[in-house]
Structure 1
Amino acid sequence: MADNTITLVGNLTRDPELRFTTGGKGVASFGIAVGRRYQVNGEWQEQTSYFNIVAWGQMGENAAATFTKGMRVIVSGRLEQREYQNREGEKRTAIEINADEIGPSLRWATASVERTPRAEGGGNAGGGARGGSQPAGGNAGGGDYFPSDEEPF
């Protein structure tokens, strides 16, 4: 199976919206605008693409606590398509990025990182923009390798 990892750098178009599943797992959703500038016949052209981002577990909670509209962020995740029914009962399709890693862009800003405690239990227990080296959350991936943040020497 092909890998569909995508990395985007852009500005938040809205504050993250944090919701919780019936099981108590956090999920944050927000949008980012990714701009591109290029020249055609000596004239600059601008193109903006908009993406919906979904972040699960502790990473989603951290994103909601950290990010606000307009902040420049880096998102790495998987491009996913899902189907749902709108309020009128019509079938719709959404394409979104299911985030594996999220962080602030430091190109034109500085950041202060505050580590959060690691969740107990194995697997994908959460990660985050503020959490440093925690695993990403949201799905049952199994077999993911998360190296220690301790130096080997």
Structure 2
Amino acid sequence: MTDKITVTGFVATQPVVKKVTGDLLITSFRIASNQRRFDKGRDRWIDGETNWFTITAFRHLAANVSASVVKGDRVVVHGRLRVRDWEAADNKKGTNVEIEADALGHDLSWGTTAFTRVSLSTGSANGDGSAVPGEDTADVFPDDVDDDATIHSDPLWGAPGVVGVSVGAGAGAAEDGDEKIPF
């Protein structure tokens, strides 16, 4: 049986996206979640222990997370909890606490956000949720995205809701090593 968990916290690492086996996208990042409580004796707020989680999102959620979430954002994550012990070759031991996200979004207790609906068939966004004319699923996952590609949103080069892929030199990038391909 898989345990479900909902966690709030701040994004502690920039989300990283990888493309594996065909068109499967995986986005992962770390969040820090700590509880604050009011200490009446001291008449002030104090921080509790910080819990660290690795968040992993798949497929369309992975693409949407990479276009929407950046380091420092406050988020709410709901998903399946996985706790795994590990041991390295040098006898170091530890425990990974991972949440495989089913749903993820900004924590509106800390600010506001704008929502842009994305067509699941094309992965495109044009404000009204319909597909952008001329786009199909072949355009959504470019063939030259490799395991080292980082997918991100960049308002300086793309329209709102457009995601881009920075492709490393090994995947046919421009001479400057940072070709941006519309996604």
TM-score, normalised by the number of residues in structure 2: 0.56
Residue correspondence of structure 1 range 48-63 to structure 2 within 5 A: 48-63=50-65
SS of 1:64's equivalent in the other structure is helix
CA distance in 2, matches of 1:23, 1:58: 14
SS of 1:37's equivalent in the other structure is strand
Q: Structure 1: which amino acid aligns with 2:46?
A: Q
CA distance in 2, matches of 1:85, 1:27: 24
Moved over 6 A (4+): 89-92
Aligned length: 120
Maintained 8 Å contact 2:74/2:106: yes
Q: Structure 2: which amino acid aligns with 1:45?
A: I
- Tell me the CA shift for residue 23 of structure 1: 2.3
CA distance in 1, matches of 2:90, 2:19: 23
Residue equivalent to 2:74: 72
CA distance in 2, matches of 1:93, 1:23: 30
Maintained 8 Å contact 2:10/2:74: yes
Structure 1 unmatched ranges of 5 or more = 121-125, 127-131, 133-153
Let me know the Cα RMSD of the aligned residues. Answer: 2.7
- Tell me the CA shift for residue 38 of structure 1: 2.6
- Tell me the CA shift for residue 119 of structure 1: 3.3
Residue equivalent to 2:37: 38
- Tell me the CA shift for residue 15 of structure 1: 1.2
- Tell me the CA shift for residue 22 of structure 1: 2.4
Structure 2 unmatched ranges of 5 or more = 124-128, 130-183
- Tell me the CA shift for residue 36 of structure 1: 0.8
SS of 1:62's equivalent in the other structure is helix
Larger RCO (CA within 8 A; separation ≥ 6): 1
CA distance in 1, matches of 2:99, 2:119: 26
Report Cα offsets for 1:85-110 as digits up to 9, x if no partner. Answer: 86x58787532000000011111211
- Tell me the CA shift for residue 51 of structure 1: 0.9
Q: Structure 2: which amino acid aligns with 1:18?
A: V
Maintained 8 Å contact 1:54/1:96: yes
Report Cα offsets for 1:100-144 as digits up to 9, x if no partner. Answer: 000111112111111111238xxxxx9xxxxx9xxxxxxxxxxxx
